[in-house]
Chains A and B, each alone.
Chain A
Amino acid sequence: MTVTRSGPLPGAGDDSAPAVYDVAVVGAGVVGCAIARELARHRLRVAIVEASGDVGDGTSKANTAILHTGFDAVPGSLESRLVRDGQARLLAYAAETGIPVEPVGALLIAWDEEQLAALPRLAEKAARNGCHDTRPVGPTELRRLEPRLGAGALGALSVPGEAIVCPWTTTLAYATQAVLSGVDLHLDCRVEKVRQGDPHRLVTPRGVLRARHLVNAAGLHADTFDALLGHHDFTVTPRRGQLIVYDKFARGLVRHILLPVPGRLGKGVLVSPTVYGNVLLGPTAEDLDDRTATGSTAEGLAALRAQGRRILPALVEEEVTAVYAGLRAATEHDDYRITAHPRQRYVTVGGIRSTGLTASMAIAAHVVGLLADGGLELGPERPLAPVRMPNLGEAFTRPYEDAALIARDPEYGRLVCHCERVSRGEIRDALDSVVPPATLDGLRRRTRARGGRCQGVACGAAVRAQFEEARR
């Protein structure tokens, strides 16, 4: 069970003690961690190599947190197949590991005649994507389903299979289970060069990591890493999505994921509940050059508020809890770019857009198949180490509400973060976990501490004191 953040990599600089991994997965986002977890079913030496200090620290941490049906994918595409397969797998996995999921369903809302006319085509497309339970909703029923909806909605398409999920816990569950099952996770370990051979040598500031097979799950940097191996199949154009998170009092305003009807101007802005009990408004869609531009802009936020006021007028009167921006790893292609290069013992997992969270487990199974086709001897399967994740979902019992738990350990009754009702016990557990957080933001993604309406006014100092005490 190994998680490293500093020091030389195993075997680095010591050729007499070769530490050659069977597979190195580059990138510890939701997709990379899912692939490593899938590989951990076999007796293989597997490493995840991640440039940042935490898992899920890139695209995976900042998305719309929706577990998709894939109803609006391009029928027949790899994305369509993997999203549908991945949704079933992740739903089952969430039930097994305690990842919060709420099956709230979605309504695709038509605000004008053109959008209304598009709904039957969308229903038909959904059916071709294997999503057969959509149905049209008239304006009267729509008003009953969503009483706080803004004026002017003409109708909707109901997509009951859409759900909301906790993206942070999902990535962390994969990583935790992979590590518990023998995968080495090397954080703060940016790959700078690749020396191809058998094994390949990944050059990092912490030494050279050797691996026979490589998986490129580098997200926003997948094309850069591909180039290191001589491939130029696609270019990642970061597409920024800014989102506003509204306070928990807004949660009562909306019951479903309210989706726009995709039009000429892209997919548009949605309003969605979150499993943490908030409401999301976003995302914007801005194509950028800078792969680090995760800031918000005044124009972006103003545009979101204008759209939000139309969709759910009462929403914009509520307090804002947080603002964030994520970068989707968009490419010039419509579909995922999952490509095997068997002679190089290398698989590229590129162009995984916003559906990647949903599809992650299916992508993992697909990629492991490609690795096996490329000569990786998988050997027999073995059971993975069981994991049970702490619950961050507001719809399920949280430790502060659990009398039996507090009776066993009073630290769960000692609230530190009052807005999110996070106890000292939960913070202690996260700091002591298999993949502990390196930063306060990492701690927030594991516990919600400091993530509430006051953003640390009340608890920031106390949480930080506990964090730093644990690191001493």
Chain B
Amino acid sequence: MIVGAGPAGLTAAATLAAAGAGRVEVLERDPAPGGVPRHCAHGGFGAALLPWRPLDGPEYARNLADAAVRAGASIRTGVTATGWPAEGPGPAAWEPGRPEERVASPAESLTLDVTGPGGLERITARAVLLATGARERPRSARLVPGARAAGVLTAGELQQSVNLYRMRGDAIGRRAVVVGAGPVAPHAARTLRDAGLEVVARVTEGQPPSTYRRGLTTDRVPVPLLAWTTVTGLVGQGRITGVTVRHRGGRTGTLACDTVVFTDDWIPHHELARAGGVALDPATRGPVADGAFRTSVPGVFAAGNVLRGIESAAVAAREGRDAAYAVLRHLAGAPWPSRTVPLVVEPPLLWVSPNRIDAPLARRPFLLRPAEPLGLPVLVAVQDGRLLLRTRRLTALDPSRSVRIAPHWAHAVDPEGGPVVLRTR
């Protein structure tokens, strides 16, 4: 059973069904399969498959869903996995810095409660793949103070409003400010323009994104970018009338606007995982997982953006495919590791995924995300004082993009040893 019909879930379903894994079912709470690409009118999807004609998001989503169905998987939409039965393992405690290893018996863990228009169901599977994706953190979770007024949304809500529900012009607003400078911000600005709004500015607390520095903005009409600038509050009664900002140098000001779009702060949809007692990693806020996408609960796998927040659809789809092979090995009787070695990062690194190492199976590259821009850093991995990796990156690290670290060094990890620490020298 696969929860979530986005790029990871659908690719896993197609791979599993094609390999004859038996009955493969995908649960999707949205009315249609496809996940986030379904809301993305912009092109560039699926370039790995069709380099001569990259697709737009909805086409890509349809292709993935068609492929899964053709392979023999069934996709059930409008159906929500609401949790694990009451006798299941129960919610995991959130222990910052100390993710607990918690193992429930497979019989308990692999049954999900489901609500749909057809009623309530309790579905049991031999393996569950969590592919629940990620969401943007809204203004409240970012603790942006000020007025609680209409006109505040995230890029995800904006894209759905414009691309799925065809809202235009005043239905959204007139003048917008986009907060964030990561990969989604230009798409948000473009969506706003397509809907007929004026985009007043993009605001980012950090330095200008590298695309800006290199003049490679994807905006058709460049949007003024205010870098090193913090949004200090929202102003308005009933409807937003402005955003107050403070520049690094201390200058303050107000940007007049009636719409504010928050982008580029992602958190995994980890609710189902957490409700099932699946251990979470405090850095990624997604399930702890090893290179074979295995979580702390036997039989429960996790792949795609639920593991750490946003990566591209191509990364999620590739993980879905690789996770399918791991699920097949599990169904064929491969043992679940009783112990894996935690991989933790130290600041200024933000997170790494996978974050558990099962040394014999360390074949998958690691995705690493820094918390701040780093110029050509030396990365070091250490276990119990023993140096496992020392490598100089030949490109700068950017907090809005992950880098891949080849896994060869992880074979040397002592399976009985302490946590492996990844840090900059």
**Chain A interfacial positions (CB closer than 8 Å to B):** 245, 249, 252, 292, 294-298, 300-301, 314, 317-325, 400-401, 403, 406-407, 410-411, 413-415, 418, 421, 439-441, 453-458, 460-462, 464-465
Q: List chain A residues, Cβ under 8 A from B82.
A: 400-401, 421
B364 within 8 A of A: no
A248 nearest in chain B by CB position? B271
A272 to B235, CA, bound (A): 29
The answer to whether A400 and B153 touch across the interface, beta carbons within 8 angstroms, is no
| Given known A-B contacts A323-B140, A454-B138, A413 and B116 have beta carbons under 8 A apart | yes
Q: Are B117 and A295 within 8 A (Cβ)?
A: no
Contact A298:B145 (CB < 8 A) given known A318-B94, A413-B116: yes
Q: Check A317 against B94 for contact (C-beta < 8 Å).
A: yes
* A contact residues around B115 at 8 Å (CB): 400-401, 406, 413, 415, 421
Q: Determine, out of B16-24, B154-162, B203-211, B328-336, the stretch whose residues face the partner at the interface.
A: B154-162
Q: How far apart sit A103 and B29, CA to CA, in the bound complex (Å)?
A: 34
- Contact partners of B137 in chain A: CB under 8 A: 319
Interface residues of B in 227-245 (CB under 8 A from A): 232-235, 237
Whether B147 contacts A298 by the Cβ 8 Å rule is no
- Which residues of A lie under 8 Å from residue B157 when comparing CB positions? 456-458, 460-461
Main SS at interface, chain B: mixed
Q: Which residues of A contact B119 (CB under 8 A)?
A: 403, 406-407, 410, 413
CB neighbours (8 Å) of B274 from chain A are 249
Query: Across the interface, do A461 and B80 meet the contact criterion of CB distance under 8 Å?
Result: no
A471 to chain B, nearest CB (A): 13
- Is the pair B96, A317 in contact by a Cβ cutoff of 8 Å? yes
Q: Is B308 located at the chain interface by the 8 A CB criterion?
A: no
Residues of chain A contacted by B232 (CB below 8 angstroms): 298
- Does B394 sit at the interface, judged by CB under 8 A? no
Complex alpha-carbon distance, A450 and B138, angstroms: 11
Would you call B118 an interface residue if the criterion is a C-beta within 8 Å of the partner chain's C-beta atoms? yes
User: For B160, what are the chain A residues with a Cβ–Cβ distance below 8 Å?
Assistant: 460-462
Interface contact A464-B165, CB-CB below 8 Å = yes
Nearest-neighbour CB distance to chain B for A273, whole angstroms, equals 15
List 12 interface pairs A-B (beta carbons < 8 Å), by A numbering: A298-B143, A298-B145, A300-B145, A322-B140, A406-B117, A410-B118, A413-B115, A414-B116, A415-B78, A418-B29, A455-B140, A460-B153
Q: Of residues 94 to 146 in B, which have CB atoms within 8 Å of A's CB atoms?
A: 94, 96, 115-120, 135-141, 143, 145-146
Q: Whole-angstrom distance from the CB of A106 to the nearest CB of chain B?
A: 24
Using A414-B78, A415-B29, A461-B161 as known contacts, say yes or no to A320 and B141 having CB atoms under 8 A apart: yes
Q: In this assembly, does B85 line the interface, its C-beta being within 8 Å of a C-beta of chain A?
A: no
Residues in A neighbouring B147, C-beta threshold 8 A: 294-295
Q: Is B148 an interface residue (CB 8 A)?
A: yes
With CB as the reference atom, state the residue of chain B lying closest to A316.
B96
> Could you tell me if B140 and A249 are in contact, using CB atoms closer than 8 angstroms?
no
Does A456 contact B153, Cβ atoms closer than 8 Å? yes
In the bound complex, what is the Cα–Cα distance between A324 and B140 (angstroms)?
9
**B78–A321 contact, CB under 8 A?**
no
A462 to B150, CA, bound (A): 16
Give the contacting residue for B165; candidates A400, A406, A441, A462; CB below 8 A: A462
Q: For the complex, give the distance between the alpha carbons of A317 and B94 in Å.
A: 8
- CB pair B80 A400 closer than 8 Å: yes
Cross-chain contact B148 with A458 (CB below 8 angstroms): no
Find chain A residues with CB under 8 A from B136 CB. Answer: 454, 457
Q: How far is the CB of A436 from chain B (nearest CB, A)?
A: 18
Cβ–Cβ contact A413 & B237, under 8 A: no
Is B165 in contact with A295, judged by CB distance below 8 angstroms? no
Tell me how far the C-beta of B280 lies from the nearest C-beta in chain A, rounded to whole angstroms.
Answer: 10
Give every chain B residue within 8 A of A297 (Cβ-Cβ): 145-146, 233
Chain B residues 60-87 with CB under 8 Å of chain A are 78, 80, 82
Q: Which of A292, A295, A410, A415 has a CB less than 8 Å from the CB of B80?
A: A415
Complex Cα distance, B161 from A462, in Å, reads 8
- B135 & A325 in contact (Cβ 8 Å cutoff): no
Residues from chain B with a CB closer than 8 A to the CB of A319 are 137, 141, 267
Contact present for A301 and B143 (CB under 8 Å): yes
Q: A457-B157, A461-B161 are in contact. Are A321 and B140 (CB under 8 A)?
A: yes
Inter-subunit contact A454/B135 (CB<8 Å): yes
B145 touches A460 (CB 8 A): no
B361 at the interface (CB under 8 A from A): no
A235 to B136, CA, bound (A): 44
What is the distance, in angstroms, from B140's C-beta to the closest C-beta of chain A?
Answer: 5
Q: Does B47 contact A (CB under 8 A)?
A: no
Complex-state Cα separation, A300 to B165, whole angstroms: 37
Q: Which residues of A contact B91 (CB under 8 A)?
A: 249, 252
Cβ < 8 Å to A, chain B residues 308-334: none
B371: Cβ under 8 A from any A Cβ? no
**6 extra interface residue pairs, beta carbon distance < 8 Å, beyond A400-B80, A413-B120:** A295-B148, A297-B145, A320-B140, A322-B140, A325-B148, A456-B153
Please indicate the chain A residues that have their CB under 8 angstroms from the CB of B234 in the complex. 295
Distance in Å: Cβ of B154 to nearest Cβ of chain A:
5
Flag whether B378 is at the interface (Cβ < 8 A): no
**In whole angstroms, what is the CA distance A296 to B232 when docked?**
11
Name B120's closest neighbour in chain A (CB-CB): A403
A456 to B154, CA, bound (A): 8
Task: Decide: B145 and A461 in contact? CB cutoff 8 A.
Answer: no
* B164 contacts A by Cβ under 8 Å: yes
**B396 contacts the other chain (CB 8 A):** no
Q: Which residues of B contact A406 (CB under 8 A)?
A: 115, 117-120
Cα distance, A245 to B80, chains bound together (Å): 25
CA distance A298 to B143 in the complex (A): 8
Interface centre among B115, B146, B235 (most CB of A within 10 A): B115
The answer for the CA separation of A454 and B93 in the assembled complex, in Å, is 21
Q: Which 5 A-B pairs have the closest CB atoms?
A: A410-B117, A461-B160, A455-B138, A460-B157, A461-B161
Q: Is the CB of B138 within 8 A of A456?
A: yes
Complex: A440 Cα to B152 Cα, angstroms? 13
Q: Is B387 an interface residue (CB 8 A)?
A: no
Cβ-neighbour of A453 out of B93, B118, B141 (below 8 A): B141
* B167 sits at the interface (CB 8 A): yes
Q: Return A218 CB to nearest CB of chain B, in Å.
A: 18
Tell me if A295 and B146 are in contact (CB < 8 A).
Answer: yes
Q: Which residues of B contact A294 (CB under 8 A)?
A: 147-148
- B391 → chain A closest CB, angstroms: 33
A245 surroundings in chain B (CB, below 8 A) = 140
Please state if A295 and B233 are interface contacts (CB–CB under 8 Å). Answer: yes
B80 with A301: CB separation less than 8 A: no
CA distance A439 to B150 in the complex (A): 10
Q: Given A319-B141, A465-B165, are A457 and B156 neighbors across the interface (CB < 8 Å)? A: yes
